[in-house]
């Protein structure tokens, strides 16, 4: 059974929250969250339960990736000392915390939740770059790859006064304690290992009607009146400036010590596809699941079904 680290409620999240809000207002364009998903399975892993041809008014922009700022002015978020300190609160004072990622999500009014989910995990030698999302998530659920899992601290903070849009999370697992952070959010963040901590968002309430024909090519732009969604060369809908629920997500790779970081950077003992299959196949057999070893472990439907049935974790509900 996986051990879930502590969760830290952090306040203040930022020394200058207004500067962060102003940076977001001046950024863009923001693209549909669905555009960031490589497949329907990945979109579902990111919190969507709707058909793949429906694009909700949820938008994202990457502000930093791989430890480098992509948006001018994002460096103070990437290297936020409060987030780094909170990550030590989750993983221990001796841990090495290496900030890697900042992205911003903006959510328009929707009558359905961003369903509880865990973020996409990563393992040494096995990441979303070359492994399907469903397999990475089942590797995490199986529990046998923990020595290779990359620990990732995530700080989630918000700019939103409500109504709706509460942040739900389950610090002790999907059947355990249920916590809710409610708006108005006052310079607060929740810092956790979101690859194993279920979390989701309650429906965002607003007067704006739900757009039903957006495509993944839609763009969210800031203008004088607020936010405009442009798709197909035309404005499809508008939102007042503070009618978009805004989330800032910060991530950092975390290592027990400098030696572990060096092993990861040097790719010592990385997983291979063959090793992953061998370990899963042996574990399935130990559980009484006698399924053939697949020739194509990413697409073999019998193999996929066996893994899904064996390791699936029922998510909690909002």
Residues 64, 79: Cα–Cα separation, whole Å: 11
Please report the DSSP string for 250-311 in residue order.
EEEEEESSHHHHHHHHTTTT---HHHHHHHHHHHHHHTT---PPPSSTTT-HHHHHHHHHHH
Q: Please tell me whether residue 192 adopts helix, strand or coil conformation.
A: strand
Spell out the domain ranges in the chain.
8-132+150-256
Report whether 78 contacts 67 (CB < 8 A).
yes
The residues pairing with 245 across neighbouring beta strands, listed in sequence order, are: 107
Phi, psi of 153 (to 5 degrees): -85, 135
- Provide CB contacts within 8 A for 268, sequence distance 6+: none
How many other CB atoms sit within 10 Å of the CB of residue 160? 22
Q: Tens of pLDDT along 33-58?
A: 988 765 555 455 445 555 557 899 99
Helices then strands, counting H and E runs in the chain, come out as 8, 15
Write out the two tokens for 37.
Answer: 């998903």
Alpha-carbon span 92 to 107, nearest angstrom: 33
How far is residue 19's CA from residue 23's CA, in Å, rounded to a whole number?
6
Give the C-alpha separation, 313 to 118, whole Å: 11
Edge-to-edge strands, sheet with 226-231: 219-223, 226-231, 234-240
Sign (positive or negative) of CA dihedral 201, 206, 211, 212: positive
In this structure, what is the dihedral angle of CA atoms 34, 38, 39, 41, given to the nearest 10 degrees? -90
Long-range residue pairs from 267-275, CB within 8 A, at least 24 positions apart, any chain: 267/124, 267/125, 269/124, 269/148, 270/124, 270/125, 270/126, 270/148, 271/123, 271/124, 271/125, 271/126, 271/145, 271/148, 272/125, 273/126, 273/297
What is the second-level CATH architecture of the domain 8-132+150-256? Answer: Sandwich (2.60)
Burial class (CB in 10 A: 0-12, 13-18, 19+), 60: buried
In this prediction the pTM is 0.91
User: What does the pLDDT read at residue 166?
Assistant: 98
Q: Where are the alpha helices (DSSP H) in the chain?
A: 17-25, 40-45, 75-78, 81-91, 133-142, 258-265, 273-286, 301-311
- Predicted confidence pLDDT, tens digits, the chain (318 residues): 456 678 999 999 999 999 999 999 999 999 999 887 655 554 554 455 555 578 999 999 999 999 999 999 999 999 999 999 999 999 999 999 999 999 999 999 999 999 999 999 999 999 988 999 889 999 999 999 999 999 999 999 999 999 999 999 999 999 999 999 999 999 999 999 999 999 999 999 999 999 999 999 999 999 888 999 999 999 999 999 999 999 999 999 999 999 999 999 999 999 999 999 999 999 999 999 999 999 999 999 999 999 999 998 889 999
């Amino acid at each position: 059974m996986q051990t879930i680290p502590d969760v830290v409620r952090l306040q203040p999240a930022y020394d200058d929250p207004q500067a962060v809000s102003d940076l977001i207002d001046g950024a863009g364009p923001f693209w549909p969250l669905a555009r960031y998903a490589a497949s329907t399975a990945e979109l579902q892993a990111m919190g969507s339960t709707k058909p793949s041809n429906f694009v909700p008014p949820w938008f994202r922009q990457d502000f930093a990736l791989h430890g480098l700022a992509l948006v001018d002015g994002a460096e103070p978020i990437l290297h936020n000392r409060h987030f780094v300190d909170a990550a030590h609160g989750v993983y221990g004072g001796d841990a090495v915390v290496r900030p890697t990622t900042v992205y911003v999500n903006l959510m328009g009014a929707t009558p359905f939740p961003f369903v509880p989910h865990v973020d996409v995990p990563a393992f040494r030698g096995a990441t979303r770059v070359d492994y399907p999302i469903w397999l990475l998530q089942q590797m995490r659920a199986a529990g046998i790859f923990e020595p290779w899992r990359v620990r990732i601290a995530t700080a989630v903070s918000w700019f939103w006064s409500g109504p709706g849009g509460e942040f739900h999370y389950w610090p002790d697992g999907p059947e355990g304690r249920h916590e809710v952070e409610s708006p108005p959010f006052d310079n607060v963040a929740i810092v956790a290992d979101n690859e194993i901590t279920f979390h989701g968002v309650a429906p965002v309430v607003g007067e704006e009607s739900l757009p039903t024909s957006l495509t993944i090519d839609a763009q969210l732009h800031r203008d004088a009146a607020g936010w405009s969604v442009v798709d197909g060369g035309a404005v499809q809908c508008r939102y007042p400036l503070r009618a978009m629920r805004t989330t800032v997500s910060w991530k950092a790779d975390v290592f027990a010590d400098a030696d572990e970081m060096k092993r990861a950077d040097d790719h010592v003992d990385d997983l291979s596809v063959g090793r992953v299959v061998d370990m899963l196949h042996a574990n399935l057999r130990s559980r009484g699941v006698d399924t053939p070893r697949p020739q194509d472990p990413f697409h073999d439907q019998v193999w996929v079904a066996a893994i899904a049935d064996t390791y699936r974790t029922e998510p909690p509900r909002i």
